[in-house]
Amino acid sequence: MTKAPESGVDDRRQRTLVQMMQGQAYRELAAAHIFGHGLEFVPEMRWLKHFTWHIREELEHYEAVARMYHDFTGESIEPVVNARLAARPVPLPASFYELAMAQFLYDRGGFWQLREYEECSFEPYRKVVRKIVEEERGHQSLGERLVVELTLTGRYNADKQKLFERWLRQGLLSFGRPGSEGARYALAVGLKKRDPGAVMQDFLDDIASAMYLCGLTMPPLATLGIEGPEKAPAPPVSGPESALPRTERSAGQPAA
């Protein structure tokens, strides 16, 4: 970094904030890559419009984080993010069903992760995060609805568990390692609200209704290479019907 630390920001806090910004920029650009690659599998205009809009939104979020990073460090974030994407490429969907699963789990994981920074003690980060969370909140149910609709057709029974586990892992990677020294530091200085383990559990509980409705099972997280809570999400009290999407017609069916 070439820019001197801001007033009130010590070296440790500066390094932590830089890591936070780099990680968030990586997730935003990775999401744009995932959804952009998946466009070739989108079968209908209504979903094509949604995913192209979502790509633009992810790029706008990436740009917002990049501006914040430049203001904070005096440097461009692009070389760092591009190098990380090259070293740690994200999976790319190979079907419309996998694209829907990515939207459901990768996007939902990112949403839960970001909510932990809504009260961040560093005001520029807090402002950027609150704007992103507000915009993401409006379409959190769409990927879930699409996965449920497609799964209930029965056409994806052979692949559904494998794809669920692939994208569940990607969603969980957003949170970081529970109980780490870095997580404890971020909590102590008010950069985030909770340890990653607690946030992971909320994320797993949040996706439980759709998971049970689709006939999916939660694997032990250790088998995904994830360190996290092993408490299985409880089945929804009201039964899986509570997760049924309310749409005018099934996904993938031609318009009348």
Condensed to tens digits (0 to 9), the pLDDT of residues 126-137 reads: 999 999 999 888
Q: 83-86, long-range: CB within 8 Å, 24+ apart, which pairs? A: 84/22, 84/26, 85/26, 85/29, 85/30, 85/33
Read off the pTM: 0.86
Is residue 18 a contact partner of residue 72, using CB atoms and an 8 Å limit?
A: yes
Which tokens go with 144? Answer: 């879930």
Which tokens go with 16? Answer: 């932590």
Which tokens go with 40? Answer: 């070739």
Calpha distance 205→211 (Å, rounded): 10
Per-residue model confidence (pLDDT) at position 236: 63
Calpha distance 160→147 (Å, rounded): 9
- The proportion of the chain whose per-residue pLDDT surpasses 90, expressed as a percent, equals 81
Is residue 210 a contact partner of residue 104, using CB atoms and an 8 Å limit?
A: yes
Is residue 107 a contact partner of residue 38, using CB atoms and an 8 Å limit?
A: no
**What is the torsion angle, in degrees rounded to the nearest 10, for the CA atoms of residue 70, residue 72, residue 73 and residue 75?**
0
Give just the sign of the alpha carbon dihedral 103, 105, 109, 111.
positive
Closest residue by Cα to residue 27 from 94, 107, 100: 107
Which tokens go with 36? Answer: 């952009």
Per-residue model confidence (pLDDT) at position 237: 55
Which tokens go with 241? Answer: 């019907």
| DSSP state letter for 218 | P
Which tokens go with 222? Answer: 């250790």
Which tokens go with 34? Answer: 């995932």
Judged against a pLDDT cut of 90, whether residue 214 lies above it is answered with yes
Residue with structure tokens 């759709």?
210
Calpha distance 4→71 (Å, rounded): 11
Q: Report the mean per-residue pLDDT for the chain.
A: 88
Closest residue by Cα to residue 72 from 136, 128, 113: 128
> In the chain, what are the domain boundaries?
11-233
Least confident of 14-23, 94-103, 197-206, 239-248: 239-248
> Please, what CATH class does the domain formed by 11-233 belong to?
mainly alpha
pLDDT class for 254, splitting at 50, 70, 90?
very low
Which whole number is the average pLDDT over 50-76? Answer: 97
In this structure, which amino acid lies at residue 86?
Answer: A
| DSSP state letter for 250 | -
pLDDT class for 87, splitting at 50, 70, 90?
very high
Burial of 245 (0-12, 13-18, 19+ CB in 10 A): middle
Judged against a pLDDT cut of 60, whether residue 253 lies above it is answered with no
| DSSP state letter for 249 | S
